[in-house]
Each structure stands twice: as structure tokens, then as C-alpha cells.
Amino acid sequence: MALSSLEKKDLISKFGREKEDTGSPEVQIAMLSANIDSLNNHFKDHHKDHHSRQGLIRMVNRRRKLLDYLKSTKLETYKKTLKDLDLRR
């Protein structure tokens, strides 16, 4: 369920401000979105897995808070991130 190191490197190279940037909101949002997508696929097979569903809800809430922060500080980056990740808000 967790992202592999190759997937993380790809996300960092695409959304990061620098080569080793893992702390910027854009990278964190991208990583959370990838984890959320993988968990959604997991729930198609394991619909009674309520413990993982709690983790999913936490990830969605964390992503929402990061998106709110990004929207209040850098509106253009927020719009670009939403477009790149195909998120609707």
C-alpha cells in the first residue's frame, strides 16, 4: 500500500522545488494523493477493512488541510497542483 521509492522519486521530481524537496506542500499533496488512490483500489477488493479506512480518512483530511494552506499562500501553485493531480475542489 505504501509508495515505492521509485514512485516517490518521480513525484518529487515532478512536484518538488528542488531535487531532494520532500517537505513542500505540493510534494506532500502529491504523495498523499498517490497513497489515497492506492487505498481506493485496495478497498475494491477488501471492502470490510475498516482500520485502513480510518487511515484513508486521515490522509484525505491532511491533504485537504495542505490544499487549504497552499490556497491561502500561493494561489497559482494551488491551481497548478489541482490541475496536475486531477483533483476537483
Band (89; pLDDT cuts 50, 70, 90): confident
Give the 3-state secondary structure of residue 88.
Answer: coil
Band (26; pLDDT cuts 50, 70, 90): very high
Question: Class of 24-85 per CATH?
Answer: mainly alpha
Task: Give the start-to-end residue ranges of the domains of the chain.
Answer: 24-85
Q: What is the mean pLDDT of residues 18-34?
A: 92
* Distance, CA of 61 to CA of 56 (rounded, Å): 9
Burial class for 69, CB neighbours closer than 10 Å (0-12, 13-18, 19+): middle
- DSSP for 3-58 reads PPHHHHHHHHHHH-SSTT--SSHHHHHHHHHHHHHHHHHHHHH-TT-HHHHHHHHH
Give the tens place of pLDDT for each residue, 73-84.
999 999 999 999
pTM: 0.90
Write down how long the chain is. 89
Assess whether pLDDT exceeds 80 at residue 1. no
Residue 73: per-residue pLDDT = 96
Of 62 and 22, the structure prediction assigns the larger pLDDT to 62
